[in-house]
Structure 1
Amino acid sequence: MQGQFSLEHFKAPEVSYYADIVIPLALPRTYTWSVPPQMEDQLKIGMRVEVNLGKNKKYAGVVKRIHKEKPEWGDPKEILNILDGTPVVYEQQLQLWEWISSYYMCSEGEVMAAALPAHFKLSSETILVYNEEYGDDFTALDTDEFIVSEALLIRKELKLNEVQQLLDSSHVYPVINRLIQKNVCFVWEALKEAYTAKKETYVVLNPQYDNEEELAQLLNDDRRLQRAEKQMELLLSYLHLIRTTGEVTKAELLKKSNATDAQLKGLVEKKILWLEKRVVDRLPILAKDIKIDFELTPAQQKAYEEVKESFEQKPVCLLHGITSSGKTQIYIKLIEEYVRKGKQVLYMLPEIALTSQIIRRLQKHFGGYIGIYHSKFSQNERVEIWNRIKSGEMKVVLGARSAIFLPYPDLGMVICDEEHDTSYKQQDPAPRYNGRDSAVYLASLFPQGDEKKGARVLLGSATPSLETYYNAVSGKYGLAELMQRFGDVQLPPIHLVDTKTIMQKDRSKIMLSPQLVKAIQEVLDRQQQVILFQNRRGYTPYQVCRVCSWIPQCKYCDVSLTFHKLSNKLVCHYCGTNYPPLHTCAACGSHEFVQRNFGTEKIEEILQETFPKHRIARMDIDTVRGKNAHDVLIQQFEQRRIDVLVGTQMVVKGLDFENVDLVGILDADGLLHFADFRVNERAFQLMEQVSGRAGRRQSTSSVLIQTSQPGHPVLAYVKQHNYKKMFEDELVKRRHFFYPPFSRIIQLTFRHKIKGILDAAAHQFANALKGRYNDFLVGPAEPVVGRVRNQFLMELLIKLPKDNQTILNCKRDIMEQVAVLHQDSRFRSVIVVPDVDN
């Protein structure tokens, strides 16, 4: 009978495929959505898809796995849309995300958020869409409704924040609700693509004049042009440019011809020239050419052969080469070998300040094969670099730690230069990964040759981390050594200046000792350059009341405020809060403050007073904020437009200047007094690295280190440039106290705004772990800085044996214990941050 249907008609169609999708949020696990039948043939792993999460929030997630296993908890929601024609990430990247998530104890969504350019991470925005059927008669609406409706009539769409700006109010929901009820508009939850291609206007000759005869007639006989002299000049400029460059942009034409927009518009209106909008690359394209114009020295050749031999047996090799031994030239030879094989190479550096010098060298040798990737690029530029690497067009990528997340189709080798550097370790936010260690895992995902051993990794440093050097000498990694400076130049002699023997009237710390001032003057007289290193920025790290010794502190952190003279502000270097300068003591009312210690800004000022005829510059985070600021400063120093460069760690790392004849370390004591088991190792690395900036071409150079404890053992190692002795002595202590490389460390930091709740939570957590890990626990204890951003801190250190099963069990137990802790209503808002291999 017509109109009668069995229940069979209302059954949902059988779902045959499901997809596990990573969302860029800190979710406890990867969730599953169903794949609609019409998408089954199109959907691939690594594509972005639009999905609903919760009631009406939409996200662009990445497909991690496609399968037929229906979730136990019931029917998942359907995928709404496929956003890409091809995958945006490869399966190796998804495997890397999973490994980082597991190893560094974070979610895959947090890894995805760090890995993808912002334009690939989409989320929903509430958008009001105008209802065309309503018409344009707004007489029945009140004032607020009228304002929004008028804007919608013109724009057709408005975002929620735009409505708030229109009405100058954040409470716009009642107005929006009334407009929806009156059918003036409706709400559309939609994903918006954020990436926009760069477009350039090109000037094109009308094809009618694309032959010599027609063009000659136009130039000689066309009255429209005879009467418009400027337009004729512009046309002739265009014809000259098109013959020499092949293509002409509007901006280039107007600049070269010194013409105006109106003159060009006149030629367009006469239909002689046309304007075309074209999508162009944001990044300059260089010719792809390999030009190696140097030969390795015998010492370099030997190290190069050792690296290649090592790669036959082991996937990772350490190149231990003293400062200025020419490690970069060995890297260039290896890069050449892999590029000629058609493979990609990732060249990692710890700081983007280093990229400017290296990129100029690499572009000289490899031209357009080279690409750079770091945080100072705009999001649009990052998308273009991403796509070039993904297509395999870019063969050599120079980048900081985040470059491990790029989509390499065929990675052959990773070079991790200055592998010891702490900048490779991400601190906040999650994922708190180490770029060097993650690169070793990434390389293992790209099988090479018959052995399928993975891509090769070369770790380079003059002062390797203890863990890396231990792995090399114990046989886990290969080892190649380069102990001779390029050109056979000797390592600079190091002189210690005992600041205890120099009396200051106000007993303040010595900034520039008489010995250092004299040495600087001698170098400047020889028309050479000086680098001074001080590991504190700002003007004065703290000021003290002369009467009661009160020190101004941040309201939100337990740290003293640093005075920045140029901006005339007190700044907290932990949370970034600015305060006006203080002239009255909050404790006793006195107006007398004494400035203690010194930062790079104060040293710059003293140098300008002491050497007024010379050019002084400062290199720290305050002076190199712009995208190219560090490159400009380095080039000025290279071109000898700066005589003395004072800076923080930025001046230490891998920079190569020919004319530096003196390096001064102004406060070695500040490097030797950190509460950290790696303090001696890191102090040695910093001092050895900064001293390596001196005498790279001359034999007259020297290094001066100012210290109040010249008998400190680390200074003895630095003075002798003796890395191996430092390594052996530190190894004995590490073994005795069960620190890496003999253990694996997980540090748990607990955060809460109420100290009592924090202490109770940390001790309850530690007590729960004591049953299985009592011998491995240190703490909980308050760190040196016990409060940051108005949250109190407690730390619990876990030193685990290097047994994979024990480490996995401990990580699982920690995550379970975090869940148990948060079930207690008192501790629900306590934040627990795990940091692996800290």
Structure 2
Amino acid sequence: MENSLGVGHRVIVPFGRRKSYTGIVSALTPLEPIGYEVKEIAMRIDDRPIVRHPQLKFWNWVADYYLCTPGEVYKAAVPAGLKIESETFISPVPGFEEDENYRLSTRELALLEGLLATGEKRVSLDSLARKTGITTVGPVVNSLLARNAVMVSENLVERYHARKETYVRLSAARGDSDALHAAFDAVKKGSKQESALLALIELSGFMRQGLAELNEVTRTALMERSGATSTVIAAMAKKGIVEVYTRKVSRFSYFGVSGGGLPKLTDIQGAALDKVHKSWLEKDITLLHGVTSSGKTELYIHLIDYVMRHGRQALYLVPEIALTTQLTSRLQMVFGDKVLIYHSRFSDNERVEIWNRLLDDPSPCVVIGARSSVFLPFGSLGLVIVDEEHESAYKQQDPAPRYNARDAAVVLASMHGAKTLLGSATPSVETYWKAVNGRYGLVELLERYEGGQLPEMRLVDMTLARKKGEVKGIFSDELREEVSGALGRGMQSILFLNRRGYAPVARCKMCGFVPKCDHCDVSLTYHRRIDKLLCHYCGSPYAVPDVCPACKEPGIEVLGYGTERIEEEVDSCFPGVAIARLDLDTTRNKDSYENIIDDFSR
């Protein structure tokens, strides 16, 4: 085992008498530990390490700087699909009879009855907890174990499953007309097989000239084109007409148009690009202070191209998942399938595939993603771009590690010998101070693209407007007029509000009682769609009380406005107008952002 192990390998390690967990080998030593007993590693999982040396060095820095354990960093960094853990299963003991001298408790009876009610030979602990409603099943299971009422077993569970696709190809070699005629003779009595054979020839390009190899066709595509079933294709394979086989395929398919070329820069942008390169001759970190719509993204694309042409990788960090949607298509127009996207909206399997691609394919690429992207296994990182570096969304609040991805990305870049570019129209105070005092390079882009003007801003004093009767609901008369004018000109409007849900506060109008979360002690937000009060910290749902728990009066009312209520208000103010709401509640899967933004752009 020692000779086959290396730093970064995944291993299964025993923990306690029954549990097993995934571990990462962080170091090897020829010295045997003294003073305590060492357990043997149960098994090595992979043929090659899944973590690189710079990653481990970076993880240790994160753990040390942000005061957490390396295990907490590992848990946050590695996709769940790569964490093999043991899962506990409970089985009833056949013929168990309750002892007359010691009756089972109510919880023990409920757990045992729930286990028997499933009708299954064994049930996982998590599943049993959901079925019985007992949240802490561990102590109850232990007491039933002592009574020999149940048995416990452990199974190793791997969450990642590679995506597989079944392909079909002709057995006949290209140019073998005799074999092709024989194939048609074999299916002439079966119209469905003949239709499938014709569709396969068309889809695979078998009769086209100039193809070096016969193209394979997915079984799904062949079935859709010909109307054949899998049974029909299996019968053709049995006759030797086609070959049917299965192999792993990527979950990511790029269908865009690449090769659009680099965006053309204006003279001002070109000068700024030269200044960035000159700044990097003296400083590894540069602040690009560019006003809104000055064309910072075009500069980023040119810098990414420069790094990739030198055979290295680039990391493009954005603070919000929604921004990856807008930027991905722009980058794919230039870099095609060399653009990788990584964020928490992807499934575990999808994140594992990105992880494995970076491990197995050292070719130049650009990764665009949110803060968790800093933990990916980069092999040759040459550039780190932190867009909107001032954003608080780069800070992980809970759970540990509670890190700032902007600062972590700067350290990551230094460990790889890469350059860092921090971009912002409103830099954070500490970044701007470092730039003007010479610790960072500073490049300014203070004109909008093609001389565009900054928008006019007007502040409305809502307190004064309410006194004058110029507010209806949440909107001032001035806002209503501006939106109506824009709609009348066939234009669009965007309303921003940093409150999700229907109303941020529920309160008793009789005694002033405000329902709070039992776990977090913060006021609950009302969501009308699900008719629940939600805690925006831990996500716990609560029913809306019919009467006040404090004064027992039916006086619970909701106060304030969230995005859900704004949507309702806009619909009543401007009937018949298309409305799209973009918040956490409407973007639960990775495609939601793209769909909403695309609908709006059209």
Pick from 308, 315, 331 the counterpart of residue 362 of structure 1. 331
Structure with bigger gyration radius: 1
Question: In the aligned structure 2, how far is the partner of 1:504 from the partner of 1:621?
Answer: 34
Q: Deviations over 1:144-177 (max 9, x none)?
A: 9xxxxxxxxxxxx967559969x99977789999
Q: Which residue of structure 2 lines up, in the alignment, with residue 322 of structure 1?
A: 291
Q: Which residue of structure 2 lines up, in the alignment, with residue 426 of structure 1?
A: 396
Question: In the aligned structure 2, how far is the partner of 1:217 from the partner of 1:74?
Answer: 73
- Given the superposition, is the C-alpha separation of residues 532 and 69 from structure 1 closer, same or farther in structure 2, using an over 3 Å criterion? same
Question: In the aligned structure 2, how far is the partner of 1:306 from the partner of 1:118?
Answer: 42
- Superposed, which structure 2 residues align to 1:271-350 within 5 Å? 271-284=240-253, 291-350=260-319
CA contact (8 A) 1:200 1:249 kept: yes
Q: Which residue of structure 2 lines up, in the alignment, with residue 801 of structure 1?
A: none
Q: Any idea what SS the aligned residue of 2:584 has?
A: coil
1:572 Cα offset (Å): 2.5
Q: Any idea what SS the aligned residue of 1:304 has?
A: helix
Q: Which residue of structure 2 lines up, in the alignment, with residue 267 of structure 1?
A: 236
Q: Which residue of structure 1 lines up, in the alignment, with residue 183 of structure 2?
A: 218
1:259 Cα offset (Å): 3.1
Q: Which residue of structure 2 lines up, in the alignment, with residue 622 of structure 1?
A: 585
Pick from 468, 472, 476 the counterpart of residue 513 of structure 1. 476
Matched, 1:82 2:47: no
Q: Any idea what SS the aligned residue of 2:483 has?
A: helix
Pick from 108, 126, 132 the counterpart of residue 70 of structure 2. 108
Question: In the aligned structure 1, how far is the partner of 2:146 from the partner of 2:201?
Answer: 60
- Given the superposition, is the C-alpha separation of residues 143 and 272 from structure 1 closer, same or farther in structure 2, using an over 3 Å criterion? farther
Q: Which residue of structure 2 lines up, in the alignment, with residue 414 of structure 1?
A: 384
1:587 Cα offset (Å): 4.2
- Given the superposition, is the C-alpha separation of residues 212 and 143 from structure 1 closer, same or farther in structure 2, using an over 3 Å criterion? farther
CA contact (8 A) 2:262 2:302 kept: no
Aligned residue identity for 2:581: R
Question: In the aligned structure 1, how far is the partner of 2:465 from the partner of 2:506?
Answer: 22
Question: In the aligned structure 1, how far is the partner of 2:443 from the partner of 2:252?
Answer: 37
Q: Any idea what SS the aligned residue of 1:495 has?
A: coil
CA contact (8 A) 1:290 1:336 kept: no
Q: Which residue of structure 1 lines up, in the alignment, with residue 374 of structure 2?
A: 404
| Long gaps (5+) in structure 1 | 1-38, 130-139, 145-156, 447-453, 640-838
Matched, 1:539 2:508: no
Q: Which residue of structure 2 lines up, in the alignment, with residue 462 of structure 1?
A: 425
- Given the superposition, is the C-alpha separation of residues 306 and 430 from structure 1 closer, same or farther in structure 2, using an over 3 Å criterion? same
Deviates further, 493-502 or 511-520: 493-502
CA contact (8 A) 1:319 1:480 kept: yes
Aligned residue identity for 2:191: E
CA contact (8 A) 1:209 1:215 kept: no
1:65 Cα offset (Å): 1.5
Q: Which residue of structure 2 lines up, in the alignment, with residue 763 of structure 1?
A: none
Question: In the aligned structure 1, how far is the partner of 2:296 from the partner of 2:402?
Answer: 29
Question: In the aligned structure 2, how far is the partner of 1:567 from the partner of 1:309?
Answer: 56
Question: In the aligned structure 1, how far is the partner of 2:141 from the partner of 2:538?
Answer: 33
Question: In the aligned structure 2, how far is the partner of 1:179 from the partner of 1:539?
Answer: 52
1:143 Cα offset (Å): 8.4
CA contact (8 A) 1:50 1:81 kept: yes
Aligned residue identity for 2:67: M
Question: How many residues end up aligned between the 2 structures?
Answer: 566
1:298 Cα offset (Å): 1.2
Pick from 456, 462, 478 the counterpart of residue 499 of structure 1. 462
Give the alignment's Cα RMSD to 1 decimal: 3.4
| Long gaps (5+) in structure 2 | 98-120, 207-213
Q: Give the structure, 1 or 2, with the largest relative contact order (CA under 8 Å, sep 6 or more).
A: 2
Q: Which residue of structure 1 lines up, in the alignment, with residue 200 of structure 2?
A: 238
CA contact (8 A) 1:349 1:417 kept: yes
Pick from 6, 26, 29 the counterpart of residue 64 of structure 1. 26
Pick from 327, 341, 344 the counterpart of residue 372 of structure 1. 341
Aligned residue identity for 1:455: A
Identity fraction in percent: 43
Matched, 1:435 2:405: yes
1:599 Cα offset (Å): 1.1
Question: In the aligned structure 2, how far is the partner of 1:273 from the partner of 1:424?
Answer: 53
Q: Which residue of structure 2 lines up, in the alignment, with residue 199 of structure 1?
A: 164
Aligned residue identity for 2:448: R
Q: Any idea what SS the aligned residue of 2:166 has?
A: strand
Q: Any idea what SS the aligned residue of 1:372 has?
A: strand
1:238 Cα offset (Å): 1.0
Question: In the aligned structure 2, how far is the partner of 1:340 from the partner of 1:289?
Answer: 16
Deviates further, 63-72 or 187-196: 187-196
Q: Which residue of structure 2 lines up, in the alignment, with residue 681 of structure 1?
A: none
Question: In the aligned structure 2, how far is the partner of 1:217 from the partner of 1:55?
Answer: 64
- Given the superposition, is the C-alpha separation of residues 164 and 592 from structure 1 closer, same or farther in structure 2, using an over 3 Å criterion? closer
1:328 Cα offset (Å): 0.2
CA contact (8 A) 1:541 1:596 kept: yes
- Given the superposition, is the C-alpha separation of residues 164 and 525 from structure 1 closer, same or farther in structure 2, using an over 3 Å criterion? closer
Q: Deviations over 1:355-404 (max 9, x none)?
A: 11100000000001111111111212112111111231461111111111
Aligned residue identity for 1:332: I
Q: Which residue of structure 1 lines up, in the alignment, with residue 449 of structure 2?
A: 486
Aligned residue identity for 1:524: L
1:487 Cα offset (Å): 1.6
CA contact (8 A) 2:362 2:380 kept: yes
Pick from 225, 234, 240 the counterpart of residue 256 of structure 1. 225
Pick from 345, 352, 356 the counterpart of residue 387 of structure 1. 356
Q: Which residue of structure 1 lines up, in the alignment, with residue 113 of structure 2?
A: none
1:203 Cα offset (Å): 1.3
Q: What TM-score do you get using the length of structure 2 for normalisation?
A: 0.86
